[in-house]
Amino acid sequence: MSPSSPSESVLPQTPVRRVVIAGGGTAGWMAAAAICKLLGRTLEVTLVESEDIGTIGVGEATIPTMLTFHRLLGIDEQAFMAASQATIKLGISFEGWRDPDHRYLHSFGITGKDHWSAGFQHFWMRGRERGLAEDYPAYCIELQAALRHRFAHLSDYRMNYAYHLDAGRYARFLRGISETHGCRRIEGRIAEVITDPDSGLIRALQLADGSTIEGDLFVDCTGFRALLIGQTLGVGFEDWSHWLLNDSAIATQTAAVRPPAPYTRAIAEPWGWQWRIALQHRMGNGIVYASRHVDDDTARARLLSSIEGERLREPLQLRFRPGRRLRSWHGNCIAIGLSASFIEPLESTTIHLIQRGIVRLLQAFPQVLAAPAIAEYNARMDEELQHVRDFVILHYHATERRDSAYWRYVAEMPLPDTLQHRIDLFRDTGTVYHVPGELFAENSWIQVMLGQGIVPRHRHPVPDLMGDEELRGFLAAVRADVERTVDALPAHHDYLQRYCPAAPA
């Protein structure tokens, strides 16, 4: 079958009643839990996975959109956090990205207070000009709480947060929810994907034991293999490695040696970066790198020489290609997770993109398959991927580092027009914008652009209407509110021990 979009005449007009999910892991069980929770009474949902096929399982950092997903599924936060050894994540500490000795934190919070005509950054810039303002991070509750390792749920929902979690335990937790709502799990290796000779649509999965699982709609959660969408249906892949150089990673786990920090650490290297993700009982460690700039042995040695604590597993080697499937939904197959796209884990967007693919599927779930709905799904997912791609590229391109061929390349490479426009707009005017539906809000772009060294040349004139005393009072009031709120928070570790203590691993 040609990978062009199926026409109305090709798509069957029979009701969608049987959903088959190929693959487990985080993507498969997130899809199963969501579909069964919302539509389980009207559908037959089957998930096929093989314990002989390992899952990536190192996507342990999330972003705040996961809270929305959990609310949709009615998940109890304390139970989930205890089951997955989860900790709180308030942001990401970027160490060595602007230059080897510089550190900044991209938090999930809102900085200051905006005016309808101009964002807080313009008032802050005016304050800096007049010697009235502290550093930009001083005006964000989540950022200051992260630096001081503090957290609590506030009654007014003022704290934006996400999680660090054990991906394998999270998948098992979701499996329990899925099976409670009617999902049937079949253990087995997929030997063949059977397609209809006339339409080319998927008809069934044949397992190694000879059994077949028929379906009306198939969800491809087979990871980088993309067994259904890629290998069987032939949907192509757009490579983004000319912007995102990293194509390899090595991951390992170590015993915890100190209380968990409520943020992810992203530590830049001459040819990539390292992550540190603290759970309740262990630390997730890894190194992401470009194989054209460093060999595996050097990267592995660098990782192992810098980690702390007893190593709990042998290093796992990963290969990947950054980019996207040309269509996430083709015919009666929807790719979710790594089979649909991969943008490296720098901003912890992998699980978010799984979630977005699932939510959009549920919002567009067909009584019968329809080409316009499929096209709309693909368009919206493409927009989301472009936005995330641009935000991740920003971290590499906006840098003062020139100490290796890797950093010189990313600093000088041509950018997507969409990203170049955002950078030019901020550099010239101090302004950012948010398109409805985009993941990263204005403050995320501001924090990263300032953190990476992009300094606006101009700003909005409205702060000039305030005299020095009024501006000083405004900035001081924001700062005092941040300090008062953070001072009242308990230590992150202490709060976890009271709220969601996990059983020993």
Tell me which of 89, 106, 352, 493 is the catalytic residue: 89
Q: Which domains does the chain have, with CATH numbers?
A: 18-87+165-241+322-386 (3.50.50.60), 248-319 (no CATH)
What pLDDT is recorded for position 155? 83
**Average pLDDT of 376-393?**
97
For 438-476, letters b (16+ CB in 10 Å) and e give bbbebbbbbbbbbbbebebeebbeebeebeeeebbebbe
**Average pLDDT of 140-146?**
97
226: left (phi over 0), alpha (psi -120 to 50) or beta: left
- Residue 246 sits at φ, ψ, to 5 deg, of -70, 135
**Average pLDDT of 432-444?**
92
8 has pLDDT over 60: no
Please indicate, yes or no, whether the overall pTM of this predicted structure exceeds 0.85.
yes
**Average pLDDT of 90-103?**
97
What pLDDT is recorded for position 2? 44
**Is 207 or 155 the better-scoring residue by pLDDT?**
207
What pLDDT is recorded for position 53? 67
What pLDDT is recorded for position 222? 97
447 has pLDDT over 50: yes
Rounded CA-CA distance 289/295 in Å is 9
What pLDDT is recorded for position 461? 96
Percent of the chain with pLDDT over 90: 91
Q: Which tokens belong to 34? A: 């969501």
Mean pLDDT of the residues in the chain: 94
372 has pLDDT over 70: yes
1 has pLDDT over 90: no
What pLDDT is recorded for position 105? 98
What pLDDT is recorded for position 179? 96
Cβ proximity of 364 and 377 under 8 Å: yes
What pLDDT is recorded for position 163? 97
Rounded alpha-carbon distances, angstroms, from residue 407 to 2, 14, 412, 450: 40, 54, 9, 18
7 has pLDDT over 70: no
Give residue-wise pLDDT tens across range 27-73: 999 999 999 999 989 999 999 998 876 655 555 899 999 999 999 99
Give residue-wise pLDDT tens across range 255-290: 999 999 999 999 999 999 999 999 999 999 999 999
Give residue-wise pLDDT tens across range 165-177: 999 999 999 999 9
Give residue-wise pLDDT tens across range 395-414: 999 999 999 999 999 999 99
Residue with tokens 């991927």, as numbered in its chain: 385
**Average pLDDT of 291-315?**
96
Rounded CA-CA distance 195/206 in Å is 11
89 is a catalytic site residue: yes
What pLDDT is recorded for position 156? 78
Cross-strand pairs, 132: none
- Model confidence at 495, pLDDT cuts 50, 70, 90, reads very high
What pLDDT is recorded for position 6? 52
9 contact partners, CB below 8 Å, separation of at least 6: none
Half-sphere exposure of 80 (CA within 13 A, CB side): 22
For 44-68, letters b (16+ CB in 10 Å) and e give ebbbbbeeeeebbbbbbbbbbbbbe
23 has pLDDT over 60: yes
* Amino acid found at 321: R
Percent of the chain with pLDDT over 70: 96
CA dihedral (98, 412, 415, 317) in degrees, to 10, reads: -70
Q: 158 in helix, strand or coil?
A: coil
Rounded alpha-carbon distances, angstroms, from residue 87 to 81, 83, 261, 263, 450: 7, 11, 8, 9, 28
Give residue-wise pLDDT tens across range 461-493: 999 999 999 999 999 999 999 999 999 999 999
Residue with tokens 């999680």, as numbered in its chain: 163
CA 53 to chain centre: 24
What pLDDT is recorded for position 468? 97
